[in-house]
Amino acid sequence: MSEILFLSTGLLSGLLSVFVALYIYRIVMKSDEGSDRMKEVSSLIEKGANSFIKVQYRILGIFTITLAVLIALVFRDLGIPIAISYILGSLASMAAGYIGLVVATKANRRTAAAAVSGGLNPAFKVAFRAGSVMGLMIAGIALVGLTSLYWLWNIILPDSTFIVIPREAGLWEILTGFSFGASTVALFAKAGGGIFTKTADLSADLVGKIEYRIPEDDPRNPAAIADAVGDNVGDVAGTGADIYDSNVAAILAAAILGAGIDLHFSPPVPFALLPLMIAALGTLASVLGVFMVRPKEGHDPGPMLNRGTYITTLLFAILVVTIILILGLNYVIAIVAIIGLIAGVFIGFTSDVFTSERGFAGFKPVSKMVDSADKSAANLILSGYAYGLLSVLPSVLGIAVAMVISYTLGAGLGFGEWEGGIYCVAIAAVGLLSTNGMIMSSDAYGPIVDNARGIIEQAQAPKEAIVACDKLDASGNTAKAITKGFAIGASSLSVLALFAAFIEATDTLNIPGISGLVVVNIAHPSVLAGALMGSLVPVVFSAILILGVERNSERMIEEIRRQFREDPGILEGTSTPDYDKCIEIATSGAIRELMPGTLLAIIVTIATGVILGLQALAGFLGGAVLSGLIMALLMGNAGGAWDNTKKIIESPEYTTYEEGTEDWHRVHDISVTGDMVGDPFKDTAGPSINTLLVVISLTATLFLPVIAQLHLWFIGLF
């Protein structure tokens, strides 16, 4: 009965989230679409985004089918169920990104129209509602997907093979295939979308703003539409797939560890399904929280977004404590779930302090970076990088404290120190991601208002509307930085849980020559070698993506210069730029550049286990998490700070120099340079590391039996 209750709660909560998202979507679509020019610009963005997604998803489809066939052949009896789950996970991840893309490309012109006709608050309302469609959809699809698959393989199609025992090849191995599908698609989507968006953004800024002194999003810039397209394919579709993937991975990791407790200790309720219940409560809190975000006349939109997050957090805490007590479980379970969520809020708060003008208690890094921009580009780059490094300190401490407290509390539950402790760490990860519906709503709001700002400028709307959208855009940029910090923290806790699931899985291998739980001794040379190899993966992966942006932008920069050089009428406003050519360059380059890093991560993970063994593979995962966490936080926060430094200098609030003067142009050019350095940091490499960590962890866990067999074969050669 409890099994059906838990599954029903997860399924119904997911369906409610999806239906509410569809209801909000209908409201957004009824908003005014603005002038004909707004519709024209928006349709160009929509067309370009759809073109990129079609090309990317076509390649992803080929990759998914190929890997599914390989899985079906390698895993023998369980091969077909795992392959089916893998395909479904891939499709669900694609759907999460595509739904957000559709909503964002239709909401941008409506946000612009609201800014023109009503100002700040009406525009905020349209943009946030549109963002909440994606946020609630992602949360809902994750719950519906996992509960439906569990029902399919364990209840509708019961079989002796599909047993709920994580220490045997069974149900959880099949569901790991679902998460692996979601993560591989998310990595492609985030990396590819990030390369696309920053190729266009960097090229448009360098040639347009610095070389020709034309405003951001000016219709005369051939890369203006590609830049707007990039906001959607990178920050909407890519981030949507990323958050969806992290959510599924966190629930799955906790479920695998909980199933071990079910097997050995027989708790009063199925601990394997408790993560689904907690995630369902978080989704309900997100649905309620979305409706609590109500703009007030004349108020800054940033605090409104933060208030929505805090209200959602409080609602989740109330719900989870109530349900845990009703179920008769130890209140520690509720506490660690809340600890995880508080850790996420704390990381988001830290990102806000280091990337927004507000700062905290007199500590205002971005304001100091504005002063640095007045001195030189070197000062601005150094200060931004240094503050990015400093931002790692409180975030990592917050994650470490959440881990230690959760483990300590869980160790006293009576299920064994390791089993109870690591399970509670996994529950903390689920708690952190439980309100992802609300978090993703704030994130998707960012690129929508960014697009709206560009549409308003290209439609030559009144200055007041541009100022309103600038305020929305600044808060959206901070919201994106907060979401990136949140996602990084979530991936860290999720990957630790996946790491524990990998360790547990090594104890179930029925392979002659390999027996017992893997013990990770960092002093052992092979383990240390594995850790060093793992720490290199995020570093090399980031380098590949950033170099991809650099190479791709070279081609687009030359194309923009060519158009200006060969058709002087473009700058005079008498000719229309060839927007499609820039979109084509960004698309082809992004697809070409994203493949090497993704394939390298999967291949190196498997190769490490095959050559050095399972202990070294465990060290590999640990090393990747440590270096990846630090690099992702550094790049995300430094990039956000550089971006907002530029926005402050471009805003009316900047009064050090009068706009248009020689000194203003000097400082502005320096701030644009900082932003161009930060762009691939915060929107390409940094956020892609989150998904990278999940991918390599799931690769090690899913392919563990294959890796173990190949390792025995490898050492037999010598």
| pLDDT tier for residue 176 given thresholds of 50, 70 and 90 | confident
Q: Is the pLDDT of residue 160 over 50?
A: no
Residues 137-157: b if buried by 16+ CB within 10 A, e if exposed: bbbbbbbbbbbbbbbbbbeee
Q: Is the dihedral of CA 233, 238, 244, 245 positive or negative?
A: positive
Q: What is the mean pLDDT of the chain?
A: 84
Q: What digits encode the pLDDT tens for the residues 189-204?
A: 888 888 888 888 888 8
Treating both helix axes as pointing N-terminal to C-terminal, what angle do 239-265 and 120-151 enclose, rounded to 10 degrees?
A: 40
Please compute the mean of the pLDDT values over residues 380-400 and round it to a whole number: 93
pLDDT of 510 over the 70 cut: no
Helix (H) or strand (E) holding 692: helix 686-702
pLDDT tens figures, 250-277: 888 888 888 888 878 888 888 888 999 9
**Tokens 């959440």, located at residue:** 402
> Residue 686 corresponds to which amino acid?
G
Is 227's pLDDT higher than 80?
Answer: yes
Q: What is the 3-state secondary structure (H, E, C) of 485-529?
A: HHHHHHHHHHHHHHHHHHHHHHCCCCECCECCCCCCCCCCHHHHH
The rounded distance, in Å, linking the Cα atoms of 420 and 599 is 35
Q: Is the pLDDT of residue 689 over 90?
A: no
Tell me the sheet residues that pair with 360. 363
What's the pLDDT tens digit per position in 391-424? 999 988 988 898 899 999 999 888 888 888 889 9
Residue 605's pLDDT is what?
93
Distance between CA atoms of 139 and 134, rounded to whole angstroms? 9
pLDDT value of residue 412: 87
Give the pLDDT of residue 167.
38
Summarised one tens digit per residue, pLDDT across range 334-344 is: 999 999 888 88
C-alpha span between 172 and 19 (Å, rounded): 29
Per mean pLDDT, which range of 4-13, 46-55, 346-355, 468-477 is the poorest?
468-477
> According to the model, what pLDDT value does residue 319 have?
93
pLDDT tens track for 560-582: 999 999 988 988 888 888 888 88
CA gap 15, 136 in Å, rounded: 10
Predicted pLDDT of residue 509: 64
Instruction: Give the pLDDT band of residue 540 (cuts 50, 70, 90).
Output: very high
| Lowest model confidence (mean pLDDT) among 288-292, 329-333, 390-394, 465-469 | 465-469
* Maximum mean pLDDT: which of 12-21, 70-79, 490-499: 12-21
pLDDT > 90? residue 54: no
Percent of the chain with pLDDT over 90: 24
Q: Which of 269, 239, 264 is nearest to 99 (CA)?
A: 239
pLDDT of 162 higher than 50: no
pLDDT value at residue 651: 80
Residue 27 has pLDDT above 60, yes or no: yes
What is the rounded average pLDDT of the residues 428-436? 85
User: What mean pLDDT comes out for the span 527-545?
Assistant: 92
Residue 158: pLDDT above 70? no
- Is pLDDT at 640 greater than 50 in this prediction? yes
- Of 67-81, 133-147, 295-309, the range with the lowest mean pLDDT is 295-309
Higher pLDDT, 499 or 178: 178
Of residues 167 and 96, more confidence is placed in 96
Judged by DSSP in three states, 213 sits in coil
What was the pLDDT predicted at 18? 92
> Average pLDDT of 54-77?
86
155 pLDDT band, cuts 50/70/90, is low
Residue 386: count of CB within 10 angstroms of its CB:
14
* Residue 409: predicted pLDDT: 94
Indicate the SS3 state at residue 85: helix
* Residue 473 vs residue 333, higher pLDDT: 333
Asked whether residue 532 carries a pLDDT value surpassing 60, the answer given is yes
Q: Taking the mean position of all CA atoms in its chain, how far away is CA 475?
A: 18
pLDDT-derived band at 644 (thresholds 50, 70, 90) equals confident
Between CA 248 and CA 86 the distance in angstroms is 13
Which of 162, 134, 136, 130 lies closest to 149 in space, CA to CA?
162
Dist CA 682 CA 687 (whole Å): 7
Average pLDDT over residues 357-365: 82
